[in-house]
Structure 1
Amino acid sequence: MSASESKRVALLAREGRAREQLRTALHESGAEIVLEDDPNGIDAQTLGDSAPQVVLIALEPAIEEGLSRLEAVLHDPDIAVIFDEAELAARREGWESQRWARHLAAKLHGHHDVLPPGREEEPTPQLEPGLPPTPAQLHADAGIGLHLEEAADIASELPRDGYAFTGMAARPDFDQVVDADQWLGSGSLQQDEAPALAGLAESIASEPPPLPQVAKSGLTLELMEMEPVAASRTPGAVVVFAGIGGPDAVRKLLAELPRDFSRPVLIQLRLDGGRYDNLVRQMARVAQMPVLLAEAGNAAEPGNVYVVPAELALAVDNGAVGFRTGDADGGKALIRALPPADSAVLLLSGAEVALVQPAAELAAQGALVQGQATDGCYDPAASRALASHGAELAAPAQLAQHLIERW
Structure 2
Amino acid sequence: MNTHRVLVLARAGAARDRTEMALRQAGAALAAVLDPATADEAQVRAAAPDALLVVLDPVAEAALEKFEAVLADPSLLVLFDDAEVAARRDGWEAARWARHLAAKLQGHRNVLPAPPAGSAPDRDFEQEMQDLSMEMAAMQPLPPAVQGSALAQPEGAVVVAAGIGGPDAVRQLLGGLPAAFPRALLLRQRIEGGQYDRLVRQMQRAAQMPVVLACAGEPLRRGHVYVVPDGVDVGEAPAGLHFVEAAGEPRFAPLRPGDSAMLLLSGAPPALVDLALAMRMAGGLALGQSAENCFDPAASQALAARGGEADSLAGISRQLLQRWPA
TM-score (norm 2): 0.74
Letter in 2 for 1:285: R
Match of 1:264 in 2: 184
RMSD: 3.5
* Aligned residue type for 1:71: L
Asked if 1 retains the 8 angstrom alpha-carbon contact of 2:218 and 2:242, the reply is no
SS, match of residue 393 in structure 1: strand
Amino acid at match of 2:168: D
CA distance in 2, matches of 1:47, 1:88: 29
Deviation of residue 122 (structure 1)? 4.4
**Matched residue type, 1:23:** E
**Mapping for residues 187-266 of structure 1, pairs under 5 Å:** 235-266=155-186
Write out per-residue CA displacement over residues 247-292 of structure 1, whole angstroms, 9 at most, x where no aligned residue. Answer: 0010011112111211111100112333222211111112111000
The yes-or-no answer on 1:396 pairing with 2:317 is no
The Cα of 1:69 is off from its aligned counterpart by 2.8
Partner of residue 49, structure 1: 48
**2:294 maps to 1:364:** no
For residues 309 and 10 of structure 2, the distance between their equivalents in structure 1, rounded to whole angstroms, comes to 37
Q: What is the aligned partner in structure 1 of residue 257 from structure 2?
A: 340
> C-alpha offsets along residues 5-51 of structure 1, whole Å, 9 cap, x if unaligned?
97653311134564345334545666532331134624387288311
1:322 to 213, 237, 243: 243
Please list, as runs of the form range in 1=range in 2, the aligned pairs for 1:270-349 lying within 5 A after superposition.
270-309=190-229, 311-318=230-237, 320-328=241-249, 331=250, 333-334=251-252, 336-349=253-266
Distance 1:12 1:97 in 2: 21
2:138 is aligned to none
Alignment CA distance shift 1:66-1:99 (3 Å):
farther
Paired residue type of 1:320: L
SS in 1 for 2:171: helix
Name the residue aligned to 2:145. none
CA contact (8 A) 1:290 1:304 kept: yes
> SS where residue 286 of structure 1 aligns?
coil
Give the match for residue 300 of structure 2. 383
Q: Could you tell which deviates more after superposition, 386-395 or 24-33? A: 24-33
Distance 1:65 1:56 in 2: 13
1:59 aligns with 57
Comparing 253-262 with 64-73, greater Cα deviation is found at 64-73
CA gap of 1:255–1:271, structure 2 versus 1, over 3 A, is: same
Bigger CA radius of gyration? 1
Code of the residue aligned with 1:268 in structure 2: it is R
Count of matched residue positions in the alignment of Structure 1 and Structure 2: 285
Task: Spell out, residue by residue over 1:108-145, the C-alpha distance to the aligned partner (whole angstroms, 9 max, x if none).
Answer: 24433486xxx42249xxxxxxxxxxxxxxxxxxxxxx
Deviation at 1:368, TM superposition (A): 1.5
**8 A Cα contact 1:19 1:58, kept in partner:** no
Q: Is the 8 A contact 2:8 2:33 kept in 1?
A: yes
| Corresponding residue of 2:129 | none
Higher relative contact order (CA 8 A, sep 6+): 2
Task: After TM superposition, give the deviation of residue 351 of structure 1 in Å.
Answer: 0.8
Superposition deviation, residue 103 in structure 1: 4.4
- The answer to whether the Cα contact below 8 Å between 1:234 and 1:263 also exists between their aligned partners in 2 is no
User: CA 1:363/1:273 → structure 2, altered by over 3 Å: closer, same or farther?
Assistant: same
In the alignment, the residues of structure 2 paired with residue 17 and residue 369 of structure 1 have an alpha-carbon distance, to the nearest angstrom, of 38
Runs of 4+ in 1 over 6 A off after TM superposition: none
Equivalent residue, structure 2, for 1:151: none
Single out whichever of 245-254 and 39-48 deviates more from structure 2: 39-48
TM-score (norm 1): 0.60
Distance 1:380 1:43, change over 3 A: same
* Counterparts in 2 of 1:316 and 1:352: CA distance versus 1, 3 Å: same
Deviations 1:170-190 (A, max 9, x none): xxxxxxxxxxxxxxxxxxxxx
Pick closer, same or farther for the CA change 1:48–1:324 going to 2, 3 Å.
Answer: farther
Structure 2 equivalent of residue 71 of structure 1: 71
- Alignment of 1:355 with 2:278, yes or no, is no
Residue of structure 2 aligned with 1:101, choices 72, 85, 94: 94
Residue segments in structure 2 that go unaligned for 5+ positions in a row: 103-109, 121-148
Structure 1 residues 17 and 392, CA, compared in 2 at 3 Å: closer, same or farther? closer
3-state secondary structure, aligned to 1:341: helix
